[in-house]
Structure 1
Amino acid sequence: MNKTELILRIAEETGFSRKNVELGLNAAINLITKALTEEEKVQIVGFGAFETKVRAERMGRNPKTGEDIPIPATKVPVFKAGKALKDAVDQ
């Protein structure tokens, strides 16, 4: 399911207009993104939690030349599914 399909399904489920659903979904995505850039954890009870983690610097290999190259440390967003979501998917 892509974003457009999600918007359509939410609109059908709630009876809200597609425009209002799109505004709400975009606002939620923007707020989650802003929180993660500020290294704040976003937890949605029953669904899961979004947070950032630091991926340590490591050595990689250039596949073309075989040369070792350093890969710098970076912050990455991660999602951890909540128990209710895990249980729903497992059934």
Structure 2
Amino acid sequence: MTKPMTKTQLVAAIADAMGADKKTAGAALDAIAEVVAKEVAAGGAVTLPGLGKVVCRERAERMVRNPATNEMVQKPADKQVKFSIAKALKDSVNA
């Protein structure tokens, strides 16, 4: 297994694919991340064409076990960010 691509490598690859400089590609990547974070934090969902969908889901209050003490404690309701992979990406990986 190879190491994951770093942000610097991703920005360089985006700049090369766009035919733009790294500064423009970095700004575009940061803007996308900011828009997705704002929308998901507000309870919405964002579809990234060809990649998948980012959504925020509510989780109910539940009982969880503290592994250090084996004590069962009540965990309050919270939100969880989920990413669903697009079928097109799955198909391209498995082709």
State TM-score, norm by structure 1: 0.89
Query: Is 1:13 equivalent to 2:17 in the alignment?
Result: yes
Corresponding position of 2:82: 78
Corresponding position of 1:3: 7
**C-alpha distance in structure 2 between counterparts of 1:55 and 1:2, whole Å:** 31
Match of 1:64 among 56, 64, 68: 68
Q: Which amino acid in structure 2 is aligned with residue 7 of structure 1?
A: V
Match of 2:34 among 30, 34, 38: 30
Deviations 1:15-57 (A, max 9, x none): 2111110101000000000000111111133321111111222
State TM-score, norm by structure 2: 0.86
The number of aligned residues is: 91
Identity %: 37
Match of 1:52 among 51, 56, 79: 56
Unaligned runs of 5+ in 1: none
Cα separation, partners in 2 of 1:6 and 1:43, compared to 1, 3 Å? same
Q: Which runs of 4+ in 1 moved over 3 A?
A: none
Unaligned runs of 5+ in 2: none
